Structure 1
Amino acid sequence: MDTITLVGFIAGTLTTAAYIPQVVRSWRLKETKDLSLSMLVLYAAGVSLWLVYGIWVNSLPVIAANGVSLVLILVLLGIKLKYH
C-alpha cells in the first residue's frame, strides 16, 4: 500500500469514527433533539455523492470511509425519525 492510500485510510477512519459516539449516545438515549434533521439529510446526501465519486475514481479509502459514514448517518436519521 502506498503512502497516500494509507493517509486516505487513516483520514477516513478518523472522520468516520467521529460519528460513532453520537450514534451510540442517540441509540442509548433514544433521543436526537439536539441534531438538526436538515443537517443529517444534507450530510447524508453529501456523503452519498462522495461514495459515488469514490466508486467512479476507484478510490478504496473514499469508498470505505463514505460507505461506513453513510450507514452511521442513516442510523442517526432512523433514530431521529423514530423518536422525533
Structure 2
Amino acid sequence: MDWIQVMGIVAGICTTAAFLPQVIKTWKTKSAEDLSLGMFLLFVIGILLWLSYGIILEDIPLILANSLTLILASTLLYFKIRY
C-alpha cells in the first residue's frame, strides 16, 4: 500500500466519521427537524455516484469510504423521513 492509498483511506475515515455524531444525535433525540431533506437526497445521490466511480476504478479507498458514508447518510435520510 502506497502513501496515496493511505491518504485516501485517512480522508475517507475523516469524512465518514463526521456523520457519526449527527446519526447518534438524531437517533437519540428522535428528531431530524433541523436536517434538510433536499440536501440529504442530493448528498445520497452524490455518494452513490462516487461509489459507482470507485467501483469502476476498483479504488478501495473510494469504495470503502463511500460505502460507509452511504450507510450513514441513508440512515439520516431515513430518520428525516420517519421523524
> How many angstroms does 1:31 deviate by?
0.5
C-alpha separation in 1, matches of 2:80 and 2:40? 9
1:66 and 2:66 matched: yes
C-alpha separation in 2, matches of 1:61 and 1:17? 14
Q: Could you list the runs of 5+ residues in structure 1 that have no partner in the other structure?
A: none
1:30 and 2:33 matched: no
> Residue type of the partner of 2:63?
I
Q: Could you list the runs of 5+ residues in structure 2 that have no partner in the other structure?
A: none
Number of the residue aligned with 1:15: 15
C-alpha separation in 1, matches of 2:63 and 2:30? 29
C-alpha separation in 1, matches of 2:74 and 2:18? 15
Please, what is the CA RMSD of the aligned residues? 0.4
> How many pairs are equivalent?
83
Number of the residue aligned with 1:40: 40
C-alpha separation in 2, matches of 1:35 and 1:65? 22
Give the ranges of 4+ consecutive aligned residues of structure 1 lying more than 4 Å apart after TM superposition. none
Note the alpha carbon deviations across 1:40-74, whole angstroms, 9 max, x for none: 00000000000000000010000000000000011
Superposition TM-score, scaled by structure 1 size: 0.97
C-alpha separation in 1, matches of 2:37 and 2:30? 15
C-alpha separation in 1, matches of 2:24 and 2:3? 32
C-alpha separation in 2, matches of 1:61 and 1:70? 14
